[in-house]
Amino acid sequence: MNKILVCFLAAFAAANAPFPIMAQDVASITPTRIVIAPAQSVLARTIKASLSAAYSGTGAGSAAYAEAQKLYFLYGERHFEPIWLSETADGQVQFSPAAQQILDLFAKAESEGLNPADYLTPDLQIPATGSDPVAMAALETAFSAATLRYASHIYTGRVAPRSIDPNLDIEPKTLDAAALLVELAGSKDPAKVLAKLEPTHPEFLALKAALANFNGSAVDRPTPIPPGALLKAGMSDERLPQIRERLGLVADASLVYDEGVVQAVKDFQQGLGLEPDGVAGPATVAALNGGAPARREDIIANMERWRWMPRDLGAFNVFVNIPEFRLSINRNGAETYTTRVVVGAVKNQTPIFSDSIRHIVVNPYWNVPASIVKGEIAPKTWQNPGYIDSQNMDLIYNGDVVSPWQVNWSAVGDSFPFKVRQRPGPGNALGQIKFLFPNKHDVYLHDTPSKALFSRSQRALSHGCIRVQNPMEFADALMANETKISRASLEAMFGSSERWVNPDHQIPVHLVYFTLRPGADGSLRSFADVYGHDAKLIQALGLSSAAAPEPIVAEAVAVPGP
């Protein structure tokens, strides 16, 4: 059987792969043809029958169907001969050396945030006799299925994002199962091949390290700073020595909240997106204590979400973390700019997906979404047709602007067959500029006249779009690679007419949802599970049997906006 495997691998490499198949290429290889070669041995015919039964016996569209189909095509290309089994001189069946190494990975799956029981299933038992082709075929196909399952889990995650919530609009990555299994079977170090499939993002690796050290870090966590009175400059408090130590200041027994500590607190608050007022209140003390202590399941859930992310975020990209209410621009993995954002309220959640910024619009019209028209604007217009003009809005019917005073509202009834847009101007809900990455959700980044909202610590307050605190600073940083566009050139366009600008370079933008983020010192910063995605994912991963709690609900926003 070993001879059959070696001959096949050599023939496959010669006929189909002029260059060695590398793990980094696995995701990009797309099969161009399907070849089902005839089975030529009793064992091969048994494997074929087993795979055929599994293939036809599962419901089309299910995960089991997709897995059975991959295996059938894979073995069909190689005459249905086994990959993972070999026979000793006395006819006993054993796993190949590559299979043995993969079994070791299954046993250590917890270090990857995975469940060993998903791979070390009861059907991976060596049959009592090697002469039973049915048992051998079942073992062979079960091992291939377990290997594909493990590879898929470390590469793209255990749970389909949209099964958690439709707002997690992320397309799972795909693997070329045939190329991967062939490379694994022929590799002297299959663990290294599989390791190349896991995310290489530094934050994922930091979370993996935190998982490995979880028990130790839980024991070594410093004594929390106790709650107390709101601390302002000049006040005295017994917690000051602890606060100085936590901020990395020179040890001092003084109990006075002096200017040195105040400035250090401001810097700390600024780095976390808190209001940098230098006042040590409950939120700042909680942050100094590391926020809510990270649980093991929280680490695993955030590792899972990193597996959903694109392998390549882009050398220059925009990263918006919803639970953090924060936007950053990153170049080659280093943060070059950051600002606060307001994101969608719980009932109007900002979706999670990746795209590319392609247009900048100065003096934008706001095309009011139908949901806002129906729920907010239509009722107010029925009561007072002057509401449209008071909000600097146009009423549009069949593409033409119509006066609300010329509409027979009694004849219109409840249908409200109009579209509504808000004209450019100081009070426009989009402010003076928006940043477009065209998508089915009609979500984008934009300015806002409601600046006071950025001072709040909980900023899930919009209708779904993302409001940027310092949009022109952001525009300046965003156009760093453009020779013809700058903050000055965009500001020169301010006026009453909408102007579109198309950068030469599309910029990847990632709307993400991470409730744990590693700091530069390796500590984990916790953020509230504002939409409840964390709790639902933890439950789906089988890490908690408790029902997912209700998401955090912010106070209503009086000013309509995207």
The one-digit pLDDT tens for each residue of the chain (562 residues) are 433 333 333 333 333 333 233 333 344 444 446 678 888 878 788 888 888 887 787 878 787 787 788 778 878 887 888 888 876 777 677 888 889 999 999 999 999 999 999 999 999 988 766 567 788 888 888 998 999 999 999 999 999 999 999 999 999 998 888 788 878 877 889 999 999 999 999 999 999 999 998 865 554 556 778 888 888 999 999 999 989 888 888 888 889 999 999 999 988 887 766 778 888 887 788 778 765 567 899 999 999 999 999 999 999 999 999 999 999 999 999 999 999 999 999 999 999 999 999 999 999 999 988 888 888 898 898 889 899 999 999 999 998 999 999 888 888 877 888 999 999 988 899 999 999 999 999 999 999 999 999 988 889 999 999 999 999 999 999 999 999 999 999 999 999 999 999 999 999 999 999 999 988 777 788 888 999 999 999 999 999 755 554 554 444 343 456 7
Residue with tokens 């000793």: 88
Domain at 222-288, CATH homologous superfamily: PGBD-like superfamily/PGBD (1.10.101.10)
For residues 441 and 351, the answer to whether their CB atoms sit within 8 Å is: yes
Q: How far apart are CA 120 and CA 291, in angstroms?
A: 37
The pair of structure tokens assigned to 50 is 């087993």
Residue with tokens 């604007």: 377
Cross-strand partners of 57: none
506 contact partners, CB below 8 Å, separation of at least 6? 356, 357, 358
Residue ranges covered by each domain of the chain: 2-198, 222-288, 309-364+430-562, 366-423
Q: How far apart are CA 123 and CA 448, in angstroms?
A: 59
Residues labelled catalytic? 446, 465
Helix (H, G, I), strand (E, B) or coil at 411: helix
Helices of type H across 247-390: 259-272, 282-288, 296-308, 370-372, 378-383, 387-390
- Give the residue among 470, 533, 510 at the shortest CA–CA distance from 320: 510
For residues 182 and 21, the answer to whether their CB atoms sit within 8 Å is: yes
Indicate the pairing of strand 507-512 with strand 393-397: unpaired
The pair of structure tokens assigned to 319 is 């990263």
Q: What share of the chain is helix, strand, coil (3-state, %, to 5)?
A: 40, 15, 45
Helices of type H across 273-353: 282-288, 296-308
Residue with tokens 């994002």: 161
122 contact partners, CB below 8 Å, separation of at least 6? none
For residue 154, report the phi and psi dihedrals to the nearest 5 degrees.
-75, -20
For residues 277 and 486, the answer to whether their CB atoms sit within 8 Å is: no
Cross-strand partners of 353: 511
Each residue of 288-321: b (16+ CB within 10 Å) or e?
Answer: bbbbeebbebbbbbbbbbbbbbeeebbebbbbbb
Q: How far apart are CA 349 and CA 328, in angstroms?
A: 20
Cα angle 302, 304, 306; round to 5? 75
Q: What is the DSSP string of 118-172?
A: GTS-GGGPPPS-TT-HHHHHHHHHHHHHHHHHHHHHHHH-SS-HHHH-TTB--PP
Start-to-end Cα distance in the chain: 64
- In this prediction, residue 33 carries a pLDDT of 63
Q: How far apart are CA 515 and CA 528, in angstroms?
A: 6
On the 0-12 / 13-18 / 19+ scale of CB atoms within 10 A, 111 is exposed
Instruction: Please give the radius of gyration of the chain, using alpha carbons only, rounded to the nearest integer.
Output: 29
| 309-364+430-562 is a CATH 3.40.50.1100 domain | no
The pair of structure tokens assigned to 118 is 């998903």
* Total number of residues shown for the chain: 562
